[in-house]
Amino acid sequence: MEKTPIMINGLPGNVARTMAQSAITDSRFNVIPFSLTGQEIEDTTTVIESLVFELVKPDIRDKKIQQIKTRFPSFITIDYTHPSAVNSNALFYTQNQIPFVMGTTGGDREQLEQVVKKASTPAVIAPNMAKQIVGFQAMMAYAASTFPGLFKGYTLAVAESHQKGKADTSGTAKAMVGYFNTLGVDFDTKDIQMVRDPDVQEKEWHIPKEHLAGHGWHTYTLTATDGSALFEFKHNINGREIYVNGTFDAVLFLKEKLTEPDTPRKLYTMIDVLNRK
């Protein structure tokens, strides 16, 4: 089987590193030895599994991408950079006709979608790349559309915990709040409890110490006004492997879409990936 060339952006960040470590040893992919990174990163290279990656900063990427595309005419990009770079990166990808999978959360998501819809380059964009969590979200979306107002009058508490380095509130938690709003609950995303303190995570949440540097725990609690009923939903993920598998599936899905002639649609989600035949 012909390998799919991929460029993993966000090195030397932890999620991008995990992606690279898995992709390098995956027979389905050919990993390009370049990675877009932040201007503040001091290193010019990073080594993963004996592969030396050249780190490309924003001030040189316009010139460098032309050299990269000359050497690798066709590839798909995986973006796990920083929330502050989401929109500028998406614009960069579309301007340079680079198909991409956006795993980075944050940024202006409406603007992100509009950029892709107006471009000629397809992309998979989702606040969470874990297929099982995406499936759970799909169930919640179905419930919200089928039983609107079901939890009217209930109060909602949302708490999410991620590693200390995650800068923004969980995109998954924000999406879930939208479903609960449709189900009749009055709750604002700004009221999501965002936990980033390792001491609190270990002692109060009882998150395994070995996963403090990489985890995603979420709890959604619905309580009736009179206290007579309580519903609680959880999804607790340790490590990052679950996101790797989903991201790679998104890449292969995008590869298929690139081979389909005259496909007007350009913006895809992980729901589309799950429905892939």
Whole-angstrom distance, CA of residue 248 vs CA of residue 104: 14
In the chain, the N- to C-terminal Cα span, in Å, equals 19
List 57, 69, 82, 162, catalytic entry: 162
Cα dihedral across residues 72, 74, 78, 79: positive or negative: positive
How do strand 45-48 and strand 29-31 relate by DSSP bridges?
A: unpaired
Three-class secondary structure assignment of the chain: CCCEEEEEECCCCHHHHHHHHHHHCCCCEEECCEEECCCCCCCCEEEECCEEEEEECCCCHHHHHHHHHHHCCCCEEEECCCHHHHHHHHHHHHHCCCCEEECCCCCCHHHHHHHHHHCCCCEEECCCCCHHHHHHHHHHHHHHHHCCCCCCCCEEEEEEEECCCCCCCCHHHHHHHHHHHHCCCCCCHHHCEEECCHHHHHHCCCCCHHHCCCEEEEEEEEECCCCCCEEEEEEEEECCHHHHHHHHHHHHHHHHHHHCCCCCCCEECHHHHHCCC
162 is catalytic: yes
List 131, 166, 211, 218, catalytic entry: 166
Q: Which residues are catalytic?
A: 162, 166
